[in-house]
Amino acid sequence: MSTEAIAAEKPKRNYNALFGLTLLALLVLLWVILSVATQSFASGNNISNLLRQGSMIAILAVGQTFVIITGGIDLSVGAVVGFATVIAAMLINAGVPVFLAILITLLVGVAIGLFHGFGIVKMGLPPFIITLATLTSLRGIGLLMTNGNSISINNDAFQEFSRSSFVGVPNLFWMVILVGIPAYIFLHHSRWGRYLFSVGSNAEASRLSGVNVQRTIYMAYTLSGLCAAFVGVLLASRIGIGNPTQAEGWELQAIASSVIGGTSLFGAVGSVHGPLLGAFILATINNGANLLNVNAFWQRIITGVLIIVIVYFDGLRRRGK
């Protein structure tokens, strides 16, 4: 037997880490190039700005990744972000203590996630469909609630949060760390994280092993909803308004970040650090393109090409191993 196993014994447990390092190298390379090519890129102001831009997509991408690992997809996250800004704004303006307002907004995200789980597990709907349905209807509900207007939030402390920094790093970026570390431990070091992978790899095998497949699916979508609602709170703080049409297309950016970060849309492959890096690579490209005065239309094209190139090379390496 040993001979047959030799091919398998080549260590590639570090594949994840290696891929992460490659992405990190890409990110650093982009930063170096941009610092040389433009004067304003390396300024403290711009870097903070970039970190703020990337942070929210990064958090969305983490939740999205949990879902994609199970072999699903969550198209609703952009709409949930917009909806959450409305909920947060309304609650705060109604005089609810900020802490409580945030908690309730997060619970709304959880509820939306549970609803997705219900649709998939109990009603047998494909994830694409149920989350697409939420995407359109949440925007509608939000517009109904606000009569199509933006609600400006009259609480300065709430808005101050997203603008200030702690030890020189924008608070929004600290939020990425706040989400990222528990998410990493959850995904790679807890049994629930393990079940996300096992369900994505082979749901039947998982069930036969005594894994509660349904609960695992509920969990993935709930976490994604929770991340999205959290981002909604951050966005409300950043722009100071509640508006259901905010965060248009963010679901696609989150999926793109996740995929650039090495997540397989077929499920069972993914990490936490990958999507985080992916989100900041995308943010850097946008930021750099702005500074270089590249046409905004080109930015979209570049992003598309980048997705193809990175995923292609990742696939090559995986196959070639």
- The nearer residue to other proteins, 44 or 320, going by C-beta atoms, is 320
Provide the binding-site residues for other proteins, judged by CB under 8 A: 1-5, 7-9, 12-13, 185, 189-191, 194, 197-198, 200-202, 204-211, 268-269
Report in angstroms how near the CB of residue 208 gets to other proteins at its nearest. Answer: 5
Report in angstroms how near the CB of residue 18 gets to other proteins at its nearest. Answer: 15
Report in angstroms how near the CB of residue 315 gets to other proteins at its nearest. Answer: 15
- The nearer residue to other proteins, 7 or 94, going by C-beta atoms, is 7
* Strand, helix or coil for residue 249: coil
Q: Please, which residues have CB within 8 angstroms of residue 292's CB and are 6 or more apart in sequence? A: 34, 37, 38
Report in angstroms how near the CB of residue 9 gets to other proteins at its nearest. Answer: 6
Residue 318 CB neighbour total at 10 angstroms: 14
- The nearer residue to other proteins, 14 or 137, going by C-beta atoms, is 14
- The nearer residue to other proteins, 5 or 123, going by C-beta atoms, is 5
Q: Is the dihedral of CA 92, 96, 99, 102 positive or negative?
A: negative
DSSP 240: S
Query: Nearest Cα to 73, choosing from 112, 150, 131?
Result: 131
- The nearer residue to other proteins, 244 or 267, going by C-beta atoms, is 267
Report in angstroms how near the CB of residue 183 gets to other proteins at its nearest. Answer: 14
DSSP secondary structure, 121-180, as one string: HTS---HHHHHHHHHHHHHHHHHHHHTT--EE---HHHHHHHH-EETTEEHHHHHHHHHH
